[in-house]
């Protein structure tokens, strides 16, 4: 299995196999949920001394566990690993987020339609609904545009993700992060739901927004909930 050696990843073969299968499942779920399509988007998760990430140019239905690429956390563009493997072109975003945020275990990037429509206008998703607080604050910020796969895009995404677990990328898509793949996938889908709500509400005029104090109260409540199997994502 490519990159599966315990000496490479620093984790057990069984654990790495589980994480690889989890990435394949997540990518397929992104398509099933309608938040990604074709070869767009990418997924990563921590694995030992590095991270596993989807390969470049492979649609979800064609992914296999063996195709998932392991990269060391200190990887650079001139690393020898790139002569053997083709990780997602957005590997810099995944590397930088995982390096900067020790509490984050997984990163999901989508091109979901409604959220991307808002990102095309370079707009944040404001606090029109209390579930905006699921991303950690009173808005889901939109990072400035930069070419896909560039270091500039990664830098902009990191800034937009300060004190947040999701952001938009101008003219591009969405990044959602979480302590594991399930949480990151759930949040990526929630961002798309919120984007649809915001676009629909805007047809009646500028939506009224919740105050910072109201959102802060929801953020506080969410800290005791989290995503649980068999329960509502908002604790209901």
Query: What is d(CA 194, CA 174) in angstroms, rounded to the nearest whole number?
Result: 12
CA angle (133 as vertex; 129, 137 as ends), nearest 5: 120
In angstroms, the CA 121 to CA 170 distance is 7
Residue 69's SS3 state is strand
Residue 188 DSSP SS3? helix
Which among 90, 159, 214, 217 is annotated as catalytic? 90
Task: Give phi and psi for 125, each to the nearest 5.
Answer: -95, 110
Q: How many CB atoms lie within 10 A of CB 74?
A: 10
Contacts 24+ apart (CB under 8 A), 29-37: 29/185, 30/60, 30/108, 30/110, 30/185, 30/188, 31/60, 31/61, 33/189, 33/192, 34/112, 34/113, 34/192, 35/110, 35/112, 35/174, 35/188, 35/189, 35/192, 36/60, 36/110, 36/111, 36/112, 37/111
The verdict on whether 90 is a catalytic residue reads yes
Catalytic residues: 90
């Amino acid at each position: 299995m490519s990159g599966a050696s315990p000496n490479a990843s620093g984790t057990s073969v069984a654990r790495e196999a589980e994480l690889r299968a989890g990435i394949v499942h997540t990518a397929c779920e992104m398509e099933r949920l309608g938040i990604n399509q074709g070869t767009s988007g990418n997924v990563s998760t921590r694995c030992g001394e590095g991270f596993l990430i989807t390969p470049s140019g492979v649609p979800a239905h064609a992914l296999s566990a063996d195709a998932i690429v392991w990269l060391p956390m200190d990887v650079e563009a001139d690393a020898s690993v790139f002569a053997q493997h083709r990780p997602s072109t957005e590997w810099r975003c995944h590397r930088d987020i995982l390096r900067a945020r020790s509490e984050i275990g997984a990163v999901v990037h989508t091109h979901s339609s409604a959220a991307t429509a808002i990102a095309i206008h370079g707009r944040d998703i404001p606090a029109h609904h209390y579930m905006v607080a699921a991303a950690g604050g009173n808005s889901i910020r939109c990072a400035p545009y930069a070419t896909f796969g560039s270091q500039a895009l990664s830098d902009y995404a990191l800034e937009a993700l300060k004190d947040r677990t999701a952001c938009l990328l101008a003219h591009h898509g969405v990044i959602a992060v979480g302590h594991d793949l399930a949480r990151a996938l759930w949040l990526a889908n929630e961002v798309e739901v919120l984007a649809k709500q915001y676009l629909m509400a805007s047809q009646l005029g500028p939506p009224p927004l919740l105050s910072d104090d109201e959102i802060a109260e929801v953020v506080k409540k969410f800290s005791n909930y989290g995503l649980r199997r068999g329960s509502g994502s908002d604790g209901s």
